A and B are shown apart, each in its own frame.
Chain A
Amino acid sequence: MKPSPAALQRLVVVALWTLTATTIGVLLFIIAYILAHGLPHLTWGFLTQSPEYMGRKGGVFPMIVGTLMVAGLAVLIAAPIGVATAIYLTEYTREGKRTAVIRFGADCLAGIPSIIFGLFGFVFFAITLGLGLSVLSGALTLTLMVLPTIVRTSEEALRAVPSAYREVSYGLGSTRWQMVTNVVLRSALPGICTGVVLSLGRSISETAAVMLTAGSALRLPHSLFDSSRTLALHFYILSREGISMPNAYATASVLIIAILGLNLLAYWLMRRFVAKVK
């Protein structure tokens, strides 16, 4: 006997919500598991000291600095390039061959796995350009990785600005650039910042690409040309080599907290953006 549509629906709804609850459950479990094991060891000392005995003791201060340098520099370079590309695509050309080529480039770049970026960064930045395993090599590699994300989110933010605003600006005697900076960017800024913040999060989490380009030095990096170990890589090494589980958990906790903070920031920015262009 076939179940009635209403009964079938009830069944399906239960199944779907089970899937959803499982998913959310996994998310909460991962966060809770890491924090539960790691927070007890996350002391102020841990954050401000350098590692000793390959990380068996001590803290992760150089890793924090290294992560900030690599990820920060990557976003610092990628953001202007990405936003400029988005501005060009939305405000300065019509859809055509040129935009198709640029979009194709960005879309393909988005699909390349991080390990390939690592290989490229190694052979191009580290070897061919002679930058060696360094913060700079890592940052430049990550720049290419996050560029498509910034272009895509910036484009969406720019397109969301109503075209009527642009006409009004022209009607009052603006040049295109004045219109873009005064009207469009001003409204699109929170949306653009969301993309930048998410890219920062991605850069911080990245391991495979930085492993092959920034190296894994334990010392505090003093310049862009020094090799440096990021938090994510440090966590990987600590856990895989079994060097120190408590420190591994603590390192992961720092990562999780940073990601949570960045996601919260991105969420808040997105809400501001939606309010602005409504």
Chain B
Amino acid sequence: MQETKIEPKIQVRGLTAQFDGKLALKNLNLDVFPRERLAIIGPASSGKTTFLRCLNRLNDLDPAFSYSGEILLDGRDIYAPDVDVAELRRRVGMVYAVPVPLPWSVYDNLVYGLKLAGIRDRATLDERLETAVRSVALWDEVKDRLKEPARNLSGGQQQRLCLARVLALEPEVLILDEPCSGLDPISTGKIEDALADLKARHAIVLVTNNTKQAARSSDRTAFLLMGELVEVGRTADLFTRPVNQRTNDYLIGHFG
């Protein structure tokens, strides 16, 4: 476990978010450190997904969204006027709850982000692609199927494909929104294993509805309730000796 002398990768200060006046996040303060897996747990509508989508400014797409506060990536506010949002999204890569392969081949899906970034050289594309796919343990399964439609893959494979798609861009932070919901236990296991390896190179924020998943595959856990950060700490500590009564109630299932 790292000492607190490490600089946080992401610092969230006083983040309040609302949609057309309806509060989704209230005065959130949270740090994300490099090389850790931070799980975000909480009941439905606690703001977990909203929080995640603030980190890569995907909430900007919603005209009803407004916020106050700061989100610093490597010390710089991601909402500063001179920030290149496309570049930010390459540095903070997102995986969604439902695998969304684009209606193209496996190959085209994987290199799309790279092409958007202006990388056209075939050799570079192939190399980045293979590295990314290997890091999610998918290479053997798709190496002969690169030209097939991505839709032909199974659900678990598709989700790993979506993870690889993001990894090809070599992001610094990975944010995942309930990536294993709807996946069978084996596929879920494969993804959790991949994340365990990936944390060596990326800061990982994992939103999950499944507290057991948070318990087994994260280093720290943050508990969000109705838009507020109730408690955050080392996963083992939070699960065995939660400081806040509400955390305890949630974990033992008083509400869900």
Contacts and interface: CB of A to CB of B under 8 A. Distances in A.
A172 B165 contact: yes
Given A172-B169, A174-B116, A178-B116, A164 B58 contact: no
Interface residues of B, number: 24
Residue of B56, B63, B100 most packed against chain A (CB within 10 A): B100
Interface in A245-278: 276-277
B96 A167 contact: yes
A277 B102 CA distance: 10
B87 interface: yes
A171 B103 contact: no
A173 B61 contact: no
A182 B116 CA distance: 9
A174 B102 contact: no
A173 B166 CA distance: 10
B236 interface: no
A172 B96 contact: no
A165 interface: yes
| Interface residue SS majority, chain B | helix
Contacts of A168: 96, 100, 102, 162
Given A94-B63, A178-B116, A182-B112, A170 B89 contact: yes
B93 interface: yes
A234 to B, nearest CB: 45
A173 B112 CA distance: 10
A183 B116 contact: no
B103 A172 contact: no
Contacts of A172: 89-90, 93, 112-113, 116, 165-166, 169
Given A94-B63, A182-B112, A171 B102 contact: no
Contacts of B252: none
Nearest to A165: B102
A4 interface: no
Given A167-B61, A168-B96, A178-B116, A173 B102 contact: no
Interface in B63-112: 63, 86-90, 93-94, 96, 98, 100, 102-103, 112
Nearest to A275: B103
Nearest to A183: B102
B96 A173 contact: no
A172 B162 CA distance: 10
Interface string A136-177: 000000000000000000000000000011011111111100
A246 to B, nearest CB: 51
Contacts of B162: 168
A174 B56 contact: no
Given A172-B90, A173-B169, A174-B86, A167 B58 contact: yes
A276 B103 CA distance: 7
A173 B94 contact: no
B200 interface: no
B117 interface: yes
Contacts of B103: 165, 187, 276-277
Q: Among the interface residues A164, A170, A187, which one has the most CB atoms of the partner chain B within 10 A?
A: A170
A173 B116 contact: yes
A278 to B, nearest CB: 9
Contacts of B63: 94
B99 to A, nearest CB: 10
A274 to B, nearest CB: 12
A167 B112 CA distance: 13
Contacts of B117: 173
Interface in A97-144: none
Contacts of B166: 171-172
Contact of A171 (B87, B94, B98): B94
Contacts of A178: 116
A165 B98 CA distance: 12
Nearest to B165: A172
Contacts of B116: 169, 172-174, 178, 182
A178 B114 CA distance: 13
Interface in B88-146: 88-90, 93-94, 96, 98, 100, 102-103, 112-113, 116-117
Nearest to B95: A171
19 contacts: A164-B98, A164-B100, A165-B100, A165-B102, A165-B103, A167-B61, A168-B96, A169-B102, A169-B116, A170-B89, A171-B166, A172-B90, A172-B165, A173-B88, A173-B113, A174-B86, A174-B116, A175-B86, A183-B102
Given A165-B100, A173-B87, 15 more contacts: A168-B96, A168-B162, A169-B116, A170-B61, A171-B56, A171-B58, A171-B93, A172-B113, A172-B116, A172-B165, A173-B86, A173-B89, A173-B90, A173-B117, A173-B169
